[in-house]
């Protein structure tokens, strides 16, 4: 039976669906038509497709089944049907379920279910090869509900099945309070909470990306079985450590060099990120990616550097299930060369499909190479813009997304905004499409 939080989610998502379902699902543009809305699925489908190789179920590929948690109007399900024999979707909103059924009525092998808002009751155990959820858990206001969904995902997955989902990794409340209500803002999950969550749910964590951003991406697998491992624990060893790819071949506390590869040998096939602890100079680092098994207990483990690591020689230690692993290594930590800023993208602050244009009086400006977001300023026709907010977009590329509120008296038509950082400035043009009055 649904509780008060689930009923609140159902009520408020029904309201959003009636108001502007496509916008609240994809946030691309208000009042999109169906074709434009469905086209916004492509980047997400590409992201999901990259995880299919992680599936280890016994089912032939052509017979696999997928489940979407929070399917909304069915944006992703048509594209997923191209890779799976059956695609099921579940949503708490009656309005969204109705829209999805209408959109999918001519696509065989698709099934939409009205859910309780906190579990997958009615769906059989060990039935799906792939469970996925995108931009859904970030809106759930109760961490216990998110936990139940992940526990339920583990239940309905076959052994070797994969869960790919997005969690909110940073607080990004809206300025005016319109997006701060509980069923929009949701819960925040730092990396250590993700590790604890997957351990609790009995999932093998394979990848965690977008750490400390709004879109933390998690890939996990239900363990295949409880067969004894051929490798004993004492066989585990860290064979080598190498820098992650960057032009200078550095390991650094921040920027493109703030990661390294650990080359493992003798580890059990059931190894997951949730079982590993890594320290650099005694500081906790974040293991973020574990490759497919390479044979002889081998894996490639990617680790994110602690940002407070001092430069100089640093000892790297690794533990598996709390026990030290042989093969301690000393790495040389260096500051990454000062980045040069660049303007990587500009769009309307709300209608994200409006590129180099504003229809609502604000802009989102994506900058790469920002060492310190507090040193960035914006001007239009030499007039400084005071209202702005910076959100970390990608620490690996020193990337921040800035939202700026434009002057009310900004002339219609072509305008230019100048971005200034110490020793650098850049200009981007945009169309002001606001209608006066």
CATH number of the domain bearing residue 139: 3.40.50.150
Query: What per-residue confidence (pLDDT) applies to 9?
Result: 92
**Does residue 119 sit in the same domain as residue 237?**
no
Please report whether residue 185 resides in a domain: yes
CB neighbours of residue 46 within 10 Å = 10
Model's pTM, two decimal places? Answer: 0.90
CA distances (Å), 178 to each of 15, 183, 310, in order? 14, 11, 41
Same domain? 346 vs 328: no
226 inside domain: no
Q: Residue-wise pLDDT tens for the chain (437 aa)? A: 568 889 999 999 999 999 999 988 887 778 888 888 888 999 999 999 999 999 999 989 999 999 999 999 999 999 999 999 999 999 999 999 999 999 999 999 999 999 999 999 999 999 999 999 999 998 998 999 999 999 999 999 999 999 999 999 887 655 444 455 667 778 889 999 999 999 999 999 999 999 988 889 999 999 987 554 444 567 899 999 999 988 899 999 999 999 999 999 999 988 999 999 999 999 999 999 999 988 888 999 999 999 999 999 999 999 999 999 999 999 999 999 988 999 999 999 888 888 999 988 899 999 999 989 999 999 998 899 877 888 888 888 899 999 999 998 899 999 999 999 999 999 999 999 876 54
How far apart are alpha carbons 79 and 350 in whole angstroms?
Answer: 26
**How much is the pLDDT for 228?**
45
Number of domains in the chain: 3
Question: Looking at residue 89, what is its pLDDT?
Answer: 98
The pLDDT, as a whole number, for residue 28 is 73
> Quick one: 300 and 356 in the same domain?
no
The answer to the question of residue 360 being in a domain is yes
Q: Is 227 among the domain residues? A: no
Question: What does 21-50 look like in DSSP terms, one character per residue?
Answer: HHHHHH-S-TT--HHHHHHTTHHHHHHHHT
Residues 178, 34 share a domain:
yes
- Give the single-character DSSP code of 153: H
Q: Within a domain: residue 322?
A: yes
Q: What is the pLDDT of residue 230?
A: 47
Domain that holds residue 249: 233-333
H helices present in 84-161, as ranges: 94-104, 143-156
Task: Give the domain-ending residue among 286, 303, 333.
Answer: 333
In a shared domain, residues 185 and 316: no
Q: What residues have CB less than 8 Å from 54, skipping those under 6 apart?
A: 162, 206, 219, 221, 292
- Does one domain contain both 418 and 277? no
Same domain, residue pair 79 and 208:
yes
| 143, 216: one domain | yes
Q: Are residues 137 and 43 in the same domain?
A: yes
| Dihedral (CA of 267, 307, 349, 178) sign | positive
pLDDT at 180: 54
Q: Which CATH number is 296's domain given?
A: 2.60.40.10
Task: Out of 333, 363, 384, pick the residue that ends a domain.
Answer: 333
Rounded-to-integer distance, Cα 312 and Cα 58, Å? 48
- Does one domain contain both 82 and 184? yes
């Amino acid at each position: 039976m649904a509780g008060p939080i689930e009923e609140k989610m159902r009520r408020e998502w029904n309201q959003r669906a009636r108001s502007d379902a496509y916008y609240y699902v994809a946030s691309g543009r208000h009042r999109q038509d169906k074709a434009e809305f469905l086209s916004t699925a492509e980047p997400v489908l590409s992201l999901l497709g990259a995880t299919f190789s992680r599936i280890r179920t016994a089912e032939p590929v052509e017979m696999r089944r997928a489940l979407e948690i929070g399917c909304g109007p069915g944006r992703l399900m048509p594209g997923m049907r191209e890779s799976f024999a059956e695609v099921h979707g579940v949503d708490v909103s009656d309005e969204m379920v109705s829209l999805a059924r209408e959109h999918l009525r001519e696509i065989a092998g698709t099934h939409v279910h009205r859910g309780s808002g906190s579990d997958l009751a009615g769906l059989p155990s060990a039935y799906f090869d792939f469970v996925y959820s995108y931009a859904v858990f970030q809106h759930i206001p109760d961490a216990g509900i998110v936990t139940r969904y992940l526990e339920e995902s583990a239940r309905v997955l076959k052994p070797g099945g994969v869960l790919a989902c997005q969690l909110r990794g940073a607080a990004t409340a809206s300025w005016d309070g319109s997006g701060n209500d509980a069923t929009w803002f949701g819960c925040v999950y730092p990396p250590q909470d993700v590790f604890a969550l997957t351990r609790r749910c009995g999932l093998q964590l394979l990848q965690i990306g977008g750490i400390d951003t709004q879109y933390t991406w998690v890939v996990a697998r239900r363990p295949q079985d409880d067969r004894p491992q051929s490798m004993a624990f004492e066989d585990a060893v860290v064979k080598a450590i190498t820098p992650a790819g960057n032009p200078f071949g550095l390991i650094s506390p921040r920027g493109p060099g703030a990661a390294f590869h650990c080359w493992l040998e003798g580890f059990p096939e059931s190894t997951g990120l949730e079982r590993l602890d890594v320290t650099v100079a005694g500081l906790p680092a974040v293991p973020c990616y574990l490759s497919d098994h390479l044979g002889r207990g081998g894996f490639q483990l990617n680790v994110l550097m602690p940002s407070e690591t001092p430069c100089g020689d640093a000892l790297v230690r690794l533990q598996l299930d709390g026990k030290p692993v042989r093969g301690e290594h000393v790495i040389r930590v260096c500051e990454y060369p000062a980045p040069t800023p660049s303007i990587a993208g500009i769009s309307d602050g709300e209608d994200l499909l409006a590129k180099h244009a504003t229809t609502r009086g604000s802009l989102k400006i994506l900058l790469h190479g920002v060492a310190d977001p507090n040193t960035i300023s914006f001007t239009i026709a030499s007039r400084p813009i005071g209202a702005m907010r910076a959100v970390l977009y990608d620490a690996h590329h020193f990337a921040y997304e800035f939202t700026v509120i434009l002057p009310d008296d900004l002339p219609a038509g072509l305008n230019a905004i100048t971005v200034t950082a110490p020793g650098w400035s850049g200009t981007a043009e945009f169309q002001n499409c606001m209608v006066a009055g």
